[in-house]
């Protein structure tokens, strides 16, 4: 195994998904390559640290009490104004900027923020209607662009495909090689190669959403292929 | 018993024994010719392993099955009623090696909803107007006509379609898809290594995804086109006026654009390229994404 090949397989080695032959070849390379051993140690330490991170990190301070207080102050000020004698001038600007006066400005600002948030949430939730522009590739093909969401989808697909591989191997042993199974197996090698290539590139550039989608697409192609192999007509 | 009698009895016993050891008489090909009365929109399900299935639409409210059953075919079953009919070629439980199969020509009402399941049998369908679904492993599939819905799935057999369909969906592992002059509102095609050729096609929407299959398209896309491959090449030749927004992205493939705008690198550390531009008012949306496949955009 060359140095570059070993570098590409370190992540899979840490994840425990390398085949027996590849694992042994990699371990043989590690025995003689200090650089790869250092990188492997760094990967393993990263995993240990990631596992120790909390599930949630609350914000540094809670903003709501101040907003709630500002809203209550404004409500109290309105009650006061409503009860005030007639003729008393009510300058808006005086109320806004008078020091120690009504805290209208912070309350208005809070209301504006809430309104903005409401608009953003509403726009995010409203799906395009039939007359609207079609959803973009990035919006339709993935579970969302967050690394956590992509990793979760990928973990599910990987597990399904691993189970499918085991089932397929059993099918081939029991039933022999039907022409359909032989054809599907030949294509399976091509899909596995596509997965390996896309994963290697994504590992080097984990922030690239195009690569994330390519890895997911390759796994979906594999799952679809396995489904073909398990169909009744493929056993004839 | 005399010597002659003993000889005769021995010979008779020998013949009987030989007959028993020889087994049953060798099966032969036989012809079939059956007709059933059905509704104009009957649901027809046809199953065969090997041989050939030819289905044609006609104006009669009848199903007519004519053909030949191969030596190792047990029987032909035609079961159902006017609403739903199943035509099933029955083989022995364990097929030993190659089978010649059955060759059937089946005429059905042109408004029938037809489903065909085959393994290595070739399939040819024409003059139907409703819904057609074909599920094949290695048989070739040839379809002509104008359909409401068209679904064809194959492993290694090639698919050849001519005509029109409101909705069309194709799935292939390594079989190639040749969709000549196909006019459709919605087209979906998915392959692993099979290529897709679309010539003279007027589409509303198209979605094509493949691992290493290539796409060659010539025609128009009115609403949206989504193309994604791992290493397959995408070659789009637009005819007529082009009114579309283009978004193309590739990790290591090349982008060759006859419309003018050049792609730009998206990262100094990778060969990723992105190209975004608009022709006309950008009414349609064309999105292309490949890992290493090349992208070529042309206009005629």
- H helix or E strand, kind and range, residue B221: strand B215-229
Same domain, A84 and A26: no
Q: How many CB atoms lie within 10 A of CB B116?
A: 24
Tell me if A58 is assigned to some domain: no
Residues of B with CB under 8 A from a CB of A: 49, 95, 117-120, 135, 137-138, 155-156, 171, 173-174, 190, 192-193, 205, 209, 211-212, 223-224, 226, 228, 230-231, 247, 249, 251-252, 267, 269-270, 272, 285, 287, 289, 291-292
Same domain, A148 and A231: yes
Tell me if A113 is assigned to some domain: yes
Average pLDDT, chain A: 71
pLDDT digits (tens, 9 = 90+) for B162-174: 999 999 999 999 9
Instruction: Please list every residue in chain A whose beta carbon sits closer than 8 Å to the beta carbon of residue B270.
Output: 205, 208
Report phi then psi at A162, rounded to 5: -65, -45
* Rounded CA Rg of chain A: 30
Q: Do B292 and A134 touch (CB under 8 A)?
A: no
> To which residue do tokens 């809670």 refer?
A62
**Of B49, B171, B289, which is closest to A213 when you measure between CB atoms?**
B289
pLDDT digits (tens, 9 = 90+) for A47-75: 666 656 555 555 555 555 655 565 566 66
Return the pLDDT at B105: 98
Q: Would you give the DSSP letter of residue A131?
A: T
Structural domain of A76 = 64-125
Assigned token pair, B64: 């007519």
Same domain, A192 and A156: yes
Instruction: Please give the torsion angle defined by the CA atoms of residues A146, A150, B207 and A130, in that order, rounded to the nearest 10 degrees.
Output: -50
pLDDT digits (tens, 9 = 90+) for B217-271: 999 999 999 999 999 999 999 998 899 999 999 999 999 999 999 999 887 777 8
Last residue of a domain, one of A125, A157, A176: A125
Report CA-CA distances (Å) from B45 to A41, A204, B56, B224: 60, 51, 14, 34
Q: What pTM, to 2 d.p., does this model score?
A: 0.67
Tell me if A211 is assigned to some domain: yes
Q: Do B228 and A141 touch (CB under 8 A)?
A: yes
Same domain, A162 and A208: yes
In the predicted model, is pLDDT for residue B18 greater than 80? no
In the predicted model, is pLDDT for residue B175 greater than 90? yes
Instruction: Please list every residue in chain A whose beta carbon sits closer than 8 Å to the beta carbon of residue B156.
Output: 180, 183
| A181 shares contact with chain B (CB less than 8 Å) | no
Please say whether the beta carbons of B172 and B208 come within 8 A.
Answer: no
Q: Is the ipTM of this complex over 0.90?
A: no
In the predicted model, is pLDDT for residue A133 greater than 60? no
Residue A22 to residue A6: CA distance in whole angstroms: 9
Band the pLDDT of B148: cuts 50, 70, 90.
very high
Distance (Å) from the C-alpha of residue A136 to the closest C-alpha of chain B? 8
Interface test with chain A among B251, B274, B287, by most A beta carbons within 10 Å: B251
Same domain, A95 and A161: no
Last residue of a domain, one of A98, A125, A152: A125
Among the ranges given (A56-65, A87-96, A155-164, B134-143), the one the predictor scored with the smallest mean pLDDT: A87-96
Q: Do A214 and B230 touch (CB under 8 A)?
A: yes
Band the pLDDT of A17: cuts 50, 70, 90.
confident
Q: Would you give the DSSP letter of residue A16?
A: T
Please say whether the beta carbons of B85 and B38 come within 8 A.
Answer: yes
Return the pLDDT at A1: 86
Same domain, A38 and A12: yes
Return the pLDDT at B221: 94
Q: What's the length of chain B?
A: 300
Same domain, A14 and A81: no
Tell me if A56 is assigned to some domain: no
Return the pLDDT at A128: 40
Same domain, A25 and A89: no
Tell me if A76 is assigned to some domain: yes
pLDDT digits (tens, 9 = 90+) for A158-189: 999 999 888 888 877 776 667 778 788 888 88
Tally the domains of chain A: 3
Residue B284 to residue A11: CA distance in whole angstroms: 41
Q: Which of B127, B105, B122 is nearest to B159 (CA)?
A: B122
Same domain, A100 and A18: no
Last residue of a domain, one of A125, A155, A172: A125
Q: Do A194 and B230 touch (CB under 8 A)?
A: yes
Q: Which of B111, B94, B89, B97 is nearest to B29 (CA)?
A: B89
In the predicted model, is pLDDT for residue A141 greater than 70? no
Please say whether the beta carbons of B68 and B29 come within 8 A.
Answer: yes
Instruction: Please list every residue in chain A whose beta carbon sits closer than 8 Å to the beta carbon of residue B120.
Output: 179
Same domain, A170 and A107: no
Assigned token pair, A99: 């020091």
Return the pLDDT at A171: 76
Q: Which of B79, B77, B61, B58 is nearest to B69 (CA)?
A: B77
Residue A96 to residue A110: CA distance in whole angstroms: 14
Residue A73 to residue B206: CA distance in whole angstroms: 58
In the predicted model, is pLDDT for residue A139 greater than 50? yes
Which has more pLDDT, A64 or B212? B212
DSSP strand pairing (B244-250 vs B131-135) = unpaired
Report CA-CA distances (Å) from A38 to A42, B134, B184, B287: 6, 55, 57, 42
Tell me if A57 is assigned to some domain: no
Tell me if A202 is assigned to some domain: yes
Tell me if A130 is assigned to some domain: no
Distance (Å) from the C-alpha of residue B95 to the closest C-alpha of chain A? 8
In the predicted model, is pLDDT for residue B293 greater than 80? yes
Same domain, A156 and A188: yes
Please say whether the beta carbons of B192 and B210 come within 8 A.
Answer: yes
Q: Do A136 and B287 touch (CB under 8 A)?
A: yes
Instruction: Please give the torsion angle defined by the CA atoms of residues A35, A151, A190 and A8, in that order, rounded to the nearest 10 degrees.
Output: 0
Average pLDDT, chain B: 90
Assigned token pair, A192: 């596995």
**Of B193, B226, B230, which is closest to A198 when you measure between CB atoms?**
B230
């Amino acid at each position: 195994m060359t140095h570059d090949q070993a570098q590409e397989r370190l992540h899979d080695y840490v994840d425990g998904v390398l085949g027996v032959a590849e694992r042994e070849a990699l371990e043989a390379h590690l025995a003689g390559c200090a650089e790869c051993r250092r990188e492997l140690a760094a990967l393993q330490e990263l995993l240990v640290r990631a596992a120790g991170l909390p599930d949630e990190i609350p914000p540094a301070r809670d903003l709501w009490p101040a907003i709630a207080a500002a809203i209550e102050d404004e409500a109290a000020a309105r009650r006061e104004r409503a009860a005030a004698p007639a003729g008393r001038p009510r300058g808006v600007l005086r109320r806004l900027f008078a020091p120690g006066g009504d805290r209208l400005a912070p309350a208005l600002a809070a209301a504006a923020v809430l309104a903005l948030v409401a608009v953003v949430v509403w726009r995010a939730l409203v799906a395009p209607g039939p007359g609207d522009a079609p959803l973009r590739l990035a919006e339709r093909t993935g579970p969302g662009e967050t690394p956590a969401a992509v990793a979760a989808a990928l973990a599910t697909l990987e597990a399904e495909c691993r189970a499918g591989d085991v089932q397929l191997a059993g099918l081939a042993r029991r039933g022999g090689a039907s022409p359909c199974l032989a054809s599907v197996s030949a294509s399976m090698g091509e899909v596995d190669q596509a997965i390996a290539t896309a994963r290697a590139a994504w590992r080097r550039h984990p922030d690239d959403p195009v690569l994330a989608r390519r890895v997911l697409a390759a796994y979906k192609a594999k799952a679809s292929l396995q489904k073909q192999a398990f169909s009744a007509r493929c056993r004839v | 018993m005399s010597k002659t009698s003993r000889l005769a009895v021995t010979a008779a016993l020998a013949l009987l024994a030989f007959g028993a050891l020889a087994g049953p008489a060798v099966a032969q090909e036989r012809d079939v010719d059956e007709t059933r009365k059905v509704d104009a929109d009957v649901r027809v399900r046809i199953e065969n392993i090997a041989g050939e299935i030819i289905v044609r639409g006609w104006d009669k409210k009848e199903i007519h099955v004519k053909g030949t059953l191969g030596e190792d075919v047990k029987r032909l079953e035609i079961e159902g009623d006017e609403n739903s009919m199943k035509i099933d070629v029955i083989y022995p439980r364990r097929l030993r090696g190659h089978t010649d199969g059955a060759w059937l020509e089946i005429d059905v009402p042109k408004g029938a909803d037809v489903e065909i399941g085959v393994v290595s049998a070739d399939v040819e369908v024409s003059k139907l107007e409703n819904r057609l679904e074909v599920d094949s492993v290695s048989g070739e599939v040839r379809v002509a006509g104008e359909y409401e819905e068209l679904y064809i799935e194959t492993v290694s057999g090639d698919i050849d379609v001519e005509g029109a369909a409101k909705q069309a969906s194709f799935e292939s592992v390594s079989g190639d898809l040749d969709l000549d002059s196909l006019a459709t509102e919605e087209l979906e095609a998915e392959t692993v290594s099979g290529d897709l050729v679309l010539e003279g096609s007027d589409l509303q929407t198209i979605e094509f995804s493949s691992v290493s299959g290539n796409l060659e398209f010539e025609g128009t896309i009115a609403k949206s086109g989504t193309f994604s491959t791992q290493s397959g090449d995408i070659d789009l030749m637009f005819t007529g006026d082009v009114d579309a927004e283009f978004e193309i992205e590739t990790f290591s493939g090349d982008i060759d654009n006859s419309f003018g705008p050049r792609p730009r690198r998206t990262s100094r550390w990778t060969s990723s390229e992105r190209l975004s531009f608009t022709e006309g008012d950008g009414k349609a949306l064309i999105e292309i994404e490949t890992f290493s496949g090349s992208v070529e955009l042309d206009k005629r």
